[in-house]
């Protein structure tokens, strides 16, 4: 732990204690591989009983760690997703927030690989194993889900404080305030929080103001593909500008576009995918999705024709092979940003040449010092804060 973190830990603990008393909290489970969900009986709804979970050494990872870098003050929000702050150009147009899972921290890295923002775990019991990270639409809040701590958090970007939590650490379940391996959570533009609760085979829409469930799609214990009535291990939910939702389901690689009222716009099985992870809409309407296996891949396909329009997959051992990539993002240049979870790195892949043109993290080497990662499980582009201007001349 850095000396700066040690000095700030007492007020962080106090904040967390107050937060945990003020909000509804939810559930946790030991971590088998992502590809092996904890399956309930096929059509037998699960009981809403809370079940404590044993915390393993793997789940705690590196513990509470920090890069030790002195952080500059963050610039104000001046951009939006529709009108982002000025680009840094190729290969990476904006800084990225990395969910550095086994280092139990969030890390923001600029295109020139400077660390400008960091959120280390303030307390492992509450905050451990951050899996995915997503900005709110106003750029002020980061939404973080923790699969094997079975909870969700909001973090204020400017103050780097945990402001809201949902889920009971080290506990899993199906009742109000409980989750079972939550994978991907987002604040929708209308203020609702939505989470893909994998092992409960459901999507939950929650009011952060009350921590109460507004809507549930899917049924715990009934894991089959029949959206929006039932889902088969959903691991991501994203949204379109018109309010439609894009849902990724693990089994049989189902990817479905749903209208806000839940009716199916289209539903297809993604081609050449064994374990689809976090599908997103590309700029041309195609779908980009990571294949969370070894050797891993990235597939872009047309949902109308189911034809692959681009794919990256290297099967031979070596620097170019991906090992369990869990998220791929199309950049404005057409290049692909991907986190390569099990090889401890985040990459930009040139769309035309399929060469690596940017990398953060040392391949196959774990660490938390500047330049190192341990299980980077998600990335989010920071189009909201003009770090390029803030760092000019420094």
Residue 182's DSSP bridge partners are 197
Q: How far is CA 225 from CA 47, 173, 327, in A?
A: 21, 21, 22
Alpha-carbon dihedral of residues 1, 56, 31, 108, nearest 10 degrees?
A: 0
Which positions ≥6 away from 142 have C-beta within 8 Å?
A: 97, 106, 119, 133, 134, 135, 136, 154, 155, 157, 380
Q: Is the pLDDT of residue 312 over 90?
A: yes
pLDDT at 48: 56
Domain count, the chain: 1
Three-state DSSP at 20 gives helix
Calculate the average pLDDT of the chain: 90
pTM of the model: 0.89
Q: Is the pLDDT of residue 243 over 60?
A: yes
Q: Is the pLDDT of residue 336 over 50?
A: yes
pLDDT at 49: 79
DSSP state of 366: B
Q: Are 303 and 289 within 8 A, CB to CB? A: no
Q: Are 391 and 114 within 8 A, CB to CB? A: yes
Q: Among 20-34, 185-199, 211-225, 289-303, where is mean pLDDT lowest?
A: 20-34
Host domain of residue 220: 3-390
Q: Is the pLDDT of residue 305 over 80?
A: yes
Which positions ≥6 away from 329 have C-beta within 8 Å?
A: 280, 288, 336, 337, 338, 379, 381
Kind and range of the H or E run holding 8 = helix 3-22
| Residue 30 binned pLDDT confidence (cut-offs 50, 70, 90) | very low
DSSP string covering 21-49: HHS----------TTS-----TB-PPP--
SS3 annotation, 124-140: CCCCCCCCEEEECCCCC
Domain CATH code at residue 191: 2.120.10.30
Q: Which of 169, 128, 203 is nearest to 23 (CA)?
A: 169
**Taking residues 212-233, what's their average pLDDT?**
97
DSSP string covering 47-99: P---EE-PPPHHHHTT-S----PPPPPPPPB---SSSPSPP--SS-SS-EEEE
| Residue 394 binned pLDDT confidence (cut-offs 50, 70, 90) | confident
Q: Is the pLDDT of residue 188 over 50?
A: yes
Q: Which of 232, 138, 133, 234 is nearest to 185 (CA)?
A: 133
Q: Which of 327, 333, 308, 353 is nearest to 300 (CA)?
A: 308
Long-range contacts of the stretch 297-300 (C-beta < 8 A, 24+) = 297/272, 297/273, 297/322, 297/325, 298/322, 298/325, 298/328, 298/336, 298/338, 298/349, 299/270, 299/271, 299/272, 299/273, 300/330
């Amino acid at each position: 732990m850095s000396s700066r973190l040690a000095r700030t830990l007492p007020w962080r603990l106090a904040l967390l204690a107050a937060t945990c008393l003020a909000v509804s909290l939810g559930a946790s489970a030991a971590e088998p591989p992502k590809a092996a969900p904890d399956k309930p009986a096929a059509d037998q709804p699960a009981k809403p009983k809370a079940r404590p979970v044993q915390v393993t050494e793997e789940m705690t990872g590196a513990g509470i760690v920090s890069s030790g870098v002195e952080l500059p003050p963050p610039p104000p929000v001046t951009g939006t997703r529709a009108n982002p702050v000025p680009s840094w150009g190729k290969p990476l147009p904006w800084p990225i927030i990395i969910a550095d899972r086994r280092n139990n921290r969030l890390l923001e890295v600029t295109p020139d690989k400077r660390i400008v923002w960091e959120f280390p775990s303030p307390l492992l019991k509450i905050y451990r194993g951050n899996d995915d990270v997503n900005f709110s639409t106003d750029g002020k809040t980061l939404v973080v889900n923790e699969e094997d701590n079975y909870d969700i958090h909001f973090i204020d970007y400017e103050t780097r404080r945990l402001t809201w939590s949902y889920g009971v650490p080290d506990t899993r379940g199906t009742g109000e305030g409980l989750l079972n391996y939550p994978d991907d959570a987002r604040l929708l533009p209308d203020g609702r929080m939505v989470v893909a609760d994998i092992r409960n085979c459901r999507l939950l829409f929650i009011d952060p103001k009350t921590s109460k469930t507004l809507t549930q799609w899917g049924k715990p214990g009934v894991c089959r593909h029949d959206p929006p009535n039932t889902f088969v291990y959903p691991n991501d939910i994203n949204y379109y500008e018109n309010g439609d939702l894009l849902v990724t389901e693990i089994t049989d690689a189902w990817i479905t576009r749903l209208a806000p009222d839940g009716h199916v716009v289209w539903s297809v099985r993604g081609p050449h995918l064994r374990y689809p992870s976090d599908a997103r809409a590309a700029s041309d309407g195609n779908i980009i999705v990571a294949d969370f296996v070894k050797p891993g891949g990235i597939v872009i396909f047309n949902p109308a024709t189911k034809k692959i329009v681009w794919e990256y997959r290297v099967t031979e051992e070596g620097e170019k092979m991906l090992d369990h990539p869990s998220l791929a993002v199309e950049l404005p240049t057409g290049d692909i940003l991907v986190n390569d979870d099990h090889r401890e790195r985040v990459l930009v892949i040139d769309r035309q040449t399929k060469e690596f043109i940017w990398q953060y993290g040392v391949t196959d080497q774990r660490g938390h010092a500047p330049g190192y990662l341990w299980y980077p499980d998600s990335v989010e582009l920071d189009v909201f804060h003009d770090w390029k201007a803030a760092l000019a001349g420094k």
